[in-house]
Amino acid sequence: MDLKHMQGILSSWNTFVCDMYVLNIWIRIYSDYFIERQPARAAFQVGALPKNGCVEIEVIALVGAVDVGSVFVNNTRL
C-alpha cells in the first residue's frame, strides 16, 4: 500500500482489528508514513470483521478547497 500520496489530505482514520497485536504492527507502518502531520485516528478491537478479515480501515479524506464559512462557538464568531 502506498500511503505517501495520501499525506496532507487525510482528515481522520479509524482502524478496526481482530487482535491488538495487529494494531501494533499497523501503528509502526502508519508512523513511518505520517511523520510530520498525523491525521486524527482511533482504533477498536472487534470480535469479527466481514469475510474473516483481521483489519478494516475507515478513512476520511479532504479533496479540494473546503469553505466552512463562519464558525460560532458559544455565540461568538471565530
pLDDT digit string, tens, across residues 16-38: 999 888 888 888 887 887 777 77
Q: Which domain holds residue 34?
A: 4-77
Q: How far, in Å, CA of 47 to CA of 56, rounded?
A: 12
Q: Match 481522520 to its residue by C-alpha cell.
A: 12
Beta strand 10-17 pairing with 55-61: antiparallel
Question: What is the phi-psi region of residue 33: left when phi exceeds 0, alpha when psi lies from -120 to 50, beta otherwise?
Answer: alpha
Domain count, the chain: 1
Is the overall model pTM greater than 0.85, yes or no?
A: no
Instruction: Provide the residue-wise pLDDT of the chain in tens; the chain has 78 residues.
Output: 555 656 567 778 888 999 888 888 888 887 887 777 777 888 899 999 889 888 888 888 776 655 555 555 555 554
Residue 54 belongs to a domain with what CATH number?
A: 3.30.1330.40
